[in-house]
Structure 1
């Protein structure tokens, strides 16, 4: 699926995936408002076999099909890394 990925200006590390031709105005306000301004980050063809840095492509595709969007949250910090870095 050809997917447009937007980065949130208000919440660093948050990325909104939508089908390329999706209208952001059709998405729930409760999703869009907290993210603030969204800037186009990447246009990507996602397939089930594709590797994504911080998301499972199968889950992304399922969410895009069922909800019309996928919200990628920033990775959780590893507590051991914080202690020993």
Structure 2
């Protein structure tokens, strides 16, 4: 499965994977507004053997097939209370 990855201009470390290049209409309008301008980062083949640094490729493929997009949010930061 080929996909296209874009970086959000408003949300640091937030990426959008699209099933079709520049298919921004597949994103709900409120989400498009929250992400701001999306800048193209890369095109990749997302086959069963493909590994991704921060996402489960099977989940990304399922989201692309089901809704046409997948959102990669920044990693959660664990905050210690000093104990």
For 2:76 and 2:26, the matched residues in 1 are separated by 29
Greater per-residue helix proportion: 1
Name the stretch that deviates more: 27-36 or 55-64: 27-36
4+ residue segments displaced more than 3 Å: none
Unaligned runs of 5+ in 2: none
Match of 1:49 in 2: 49
SS at match of 2:53: coil
TM-score normalised by length of structure 2: 0.87
Unaligned runs of 5+ in 1: none
| 1:22 CA drift (Å) | 5.5
TM-score normalised by length of structure 1: 0.85
Seen in structure 2, the aligned counterparts of structure 1 residues 62 and 22 have a Cα distance that, compared at 3 Å, is farther
Taking the TM superposition and a 5 Å limit, the aligned residue runs for 1:2-81 are: 2-21=2-21, 23-79=23-79
Q: What is the number of residues matched between the two proteins?
A: 82
CA RMSD, aligned part only? 1.8
| 1:77 CA drift (Å) | 1.2
For 1:64 and 1:26, the matched residues in 2 are separated by 10
| 1:73 CA drift (Å) | 0.4
For 1:21 and 1:14, the matched residues in 2 are separated by 17
